[in-house]
């Protein structure tokens, strides 16, 4: 099919083994059904920002309205590193003629909304970035929302959250 719609998508949803444990979250509805009409531009914040596979998991910590990105076990903060990468990557994505994004839900790096935020004692509390919240400032979804202000946000298809025109 010619002139497929170009969409940015979390790389693990395409079946690429980029997750922290070396696995993926292949969504066959995306690749097999929507793939007939969509041209996917993969983006994995954690791998593209230079973290290895496999790697320690990340979590959001602190103020649910402005959480930090921290490794779950060693408690090393990478908020600024991810923000720097996201700003740079969005500038590249602006040249990709994209019509929207599909982000993996629940991920501290890729999730658009309703991602768990942990308090300093390690307890999961409020889910910052809920529908009523802005996405986390450092994250690719937040930077994409800023760069593509005409995109709306909606949850669809279980584990994915889309931003689409």
- The DSSP element (H or E) to which 104 belongs, if any, is strand 100-104
- Among 8, 30, 40, 45, the residue binding ligand SF4 under the rule CB under 6 A is 45
Size of residue set near ligand SF4 by CB under 6 A: 13
162 part of the interface to ligand SF4, by CB under 6 A = no
11 part of the interface to ligand SF4, by CB under 6 A = yes
Closest approach of Cβ 161 to ligand SF4, in Å? 11
Whose Cβ is closer to ligand SF4: residue 1's or residue 34's?
A: 34
Whose Cβ is closer to ligand SF4: residue 3's or residue 77's?
A: 77
| Residues 6 or more apart in contact with residue 18 via CB below 8 angstroms | 11, 12, 24, 44, 46, 47, 53
Q: How many Å separate Cα 119 from the centre of its chain? A: 21
What is d(CA 46, CA 85) in angstroms, rounded to the nearest whole number? 9
What is d(CA 7, CA 42) in angstroms, rounded to the nearest whole number? 9
Question: Could you list the residues that contact ligand SF4 (CB under 6 A)?
Answer: 10-12, 18-19, 44-47, 104, 107, 109-110
């Amino acid at each position: 099919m010619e002139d497929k719609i170009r969409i940015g998508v979390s790389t693990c949803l395409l079946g690429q083994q980029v997750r922290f444990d070396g696995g993926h979250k292949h969504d066959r509805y995306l690749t097999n059904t929507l793939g007939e009409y969509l041209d996917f531009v993969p983006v994995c914040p954690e791998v593209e920002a230079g973290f290895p596979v496999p790697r320690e998991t990340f979590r959001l910590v602190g103020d649910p309205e402005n959480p930090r990105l921290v490794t779950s076990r060693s408690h090393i903060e990478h908020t600024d590193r991810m923000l720097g990468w996201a700003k740079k990557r969005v500038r590249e994505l602006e040249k990709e003629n994209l019509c929207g994004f599909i982000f993996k839900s629940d991920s501290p790096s890729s999730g658009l909304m309703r991602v768990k935020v942990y308090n300093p004692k390690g307890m999961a509390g409020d889910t910052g970035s809920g529908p009523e919240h802005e996405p986390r400032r450092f994250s690719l979804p937040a930077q994409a929302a800023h760069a593509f202000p005409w995109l709306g946000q909606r949850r669809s298809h279980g584990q994915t959250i889309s931003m689409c025109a």
